[in-house]
Structures are given as C-alpha cells and as structure tokens.
Amino acid sequence: MTRAFTFVGGNAGAWQVVRIVPVIGEALERVPSLAVVNRSLNSPPSGAKWLLRGVTSHERYVTRDEHALLAAKTPALGRAEATCAALIPIKKSASWWDLAQDERRAIFESRSEHIKMGLQYLPAVARRLHHCRDLAIIGESESGRSHTNAPHCAGLHSSGGLSPAPSWGL
C-alpha cells in the first residue's frame, strides 16, 4: 500500500458527506460524497469538486510516552463498526513554519492539549494523519478519523473538541 492518499469530494465515494463546517477560513465546496483513494491523483475524476492530497508519515510533536499511549489505544481504520468519520483539513501559514519545532510543540500540546483531548476518544475513534507540507500542492495536512458510531462522532463535535486550537490560527 502506498503512503499517498487523495480525498475526492464529489458525486461518488463510499462516504456520504453529512455536513461541512468551517472552523477557521473558507469551507470546502459542499459535496454529496467523499472517496478516499490510496494513491495521488494528478487530475480530478469526473464529478469531483475538490481534491485533498497527502501522505502518511511519522507523528509530529509527540513525546515517546505520548506516542506509546497513542499507539496502544488507536484502533485500525476501516473496521466494520466504523460508520462515521471526520475529515479535518488544516492549512498552516508561513508564520507557523517559521516557528522552531519546540515552539510548534508548545502550541500544539502544551497550550491546546491536543493529544490529551484526543486520548479521551480512543479507542472509539481511530485516526490517521496525512501531511502535504512537502508536496508541491496547496494545503498542509488532513486529519482523518473514523468512528465506531454516531454518538462518538457527535460527541467529538459537540464537546468542543473541534473548537479552534491555538495552532489553527497559524
């Protein structure tokens, strides 16, 4: 399996899009379906409104202990009981990338407690990050999560878990 993925918003795909809610910035164009393709597409298929491309990579901004905790509690994507998903596209600014690694880590975890919050939803929520920082395309990263059932999906949205984190403005 390749590390490259393309998320195709359009008229076809295994995932039904229930809503698109921008937190910061403009929303993606409303589409009825989302396809997840395990390769990088160079051009949009027929009926596609938008493409988001990324590659899976190592986790960033985690300590060894946090990595071990996440690895132990994170289930696989694509399991039969996962009937709800959230796709969270995030584009970082030049000012974010101008920060040193330790400064980004401080914003990401020390101030926003991103990992601590995410651990609350494991193992009901599986996650996989797709990065596109080093690809020659617009965007930064897409965070994919699949959920075992709608209450967990709704809980993630209603709990404030998708409120703007300090890193989202950079």
List the domain range (segments joined by +) for residue 25: 4-169
So what's the pLDDT on residue 58? 77
pTM (2 decimals)?
0.75
Range of weakest confidence among 24-33, 49-58, 74-83: 74-83
- pLDDT tens per residue, range 98-118: 999 899 888 877 778 888 888
Q: What average pLDDT score do residues 129-136 get?
A: 75
d(CA 24, CA 118): 20
Q: In 3D, which of 51, 45, 19, 46 has the Cα closest to residue 32?
A: 19
Alpha helices for 5-105 (secondary structure H):
64-73, 94-98, 101-105
How many domains does the chain contain in total? 1
∠ Cα 2 96 160 (to 5°): 80
Query: What is the pLDDT, as a whole number, of residue 136?
Result: 57
Beta strands in 14-134 (DSSP E): 15-16, 33-37, 48-55, 84-90, 125-131
CATH of the domain at 59: 3.30.70.3420
